[in-house]
Amino acid sequence: MKNKPSLLIIGNSNVGKSSITRLLVPNPKKFKGKAGKQPGSTLMIKSIGFPQMPYKIVDLPGFGYMNSSSRRREEHIKKQLVIHIEKHHDNYFFSLVVLNALRIEDELKKYYLENDTTIPLSFELIKFLREFEIPILVILNKIDKISVFDKKKINSLLINSAKDYGLNLVQTSGEYVSDYKEIPYLEFSAIKKTNIEKLKRIINISLQKEG
């Protein structure tokens, strides 16, 4: 079990990482006890594995997952996250960068629309993972909460602002192409299980490529 490849699920607090993990494991009830908040300022890295699963799942916080009152702690976590990826990137066959569709506009407004000197943290994270050649799928989670009208707005805001940072985000139809020119993203709902079959297929294709 130790040398099974790992799937990285990364994103800010509350975006739905644990919910997505539960959809991917064969026995979510067993995993429930393992999940939980991470106390203190140490990045606790837990990998979740089951004998019948061909890969392990590692759930990590994103860049900047706390409010500004805990900037120091945020920086501390970020540093540890960077160290972890630098050390263990070879273990990861694939990464899911999970975004909360309800928060996209806020995040981009904070970093992009009002201040063009800083990079939105999610884009920084994507660039960082790419440096280590970990294939990425961006998951736009909680899509069940978005109206058709807002969905269009959010999609184009995401794509256009990513472009300004040199990232070519493309909505995937479920056929994952990891040519490193495009970064695929998938609209998703962990609650409604929207696109869960596509997600599973993309993960499996990547796993086969790895092995």
Ligand X SMILES: Nc1nc2c(ncn2[C@@H]2O[C@H](COP(=O)(O)OP(=O)(O)O)[C@@H](O)[C@H]2O)c(=O)[nH]1
> Which residues lie near ligand X (CB under 6 A)?
11, 13-19, 141-142, 144-145, 189-191
Instruction: Report in angstroms how near the CB of residue 12 gets to ligand X at its nearest.
Output: 7
Of 57, 74, 64, the residue nearest 18 (C-alpha): 57
- Cα dihedral 169, 71, 133, 91, rounded to 10, equals -130
Task: Count Cβ atoms below 10 Å from residue 60 Cβ, excluding itself.
Answer: 21
Report the residue number whose CB is nearest to Mg ion.
Answer: 18
| Cα first-last separation, the chain | 15
- In this complex, which beta carbon is closest to Mg ion, that of residue 18 or of residue 206? 18
Min CB(145)–Mg ion separation in Å: 18
Residue corresponding to tokens 């140490």: 42
- The nearest distance, CB 117 to Mg ion, in angstroms, is 32
The site partner of 15 among ligand X, Mg ion, none (C-beta below 5 to 8 Å per kind) is: ligand X
Say whether 37 sits in a helix, a strand or coil: coil
Candidates 9-17, 41-49, 62-70, 141-149 — which segment interacts with Mg ion by CB under 5 A? 9-17
Q: Shortest Cβ distance from residue 16 to Mg ion (Å)? A: 8
Query: Which is it for strands 92-100 and 6-11: parallel, antiparallel or unpaired?
Result: parallel
Site stretch for Mg ion (CB under 5 A), options 10-18, 111-119, 140-148, 187-195 = 10-18
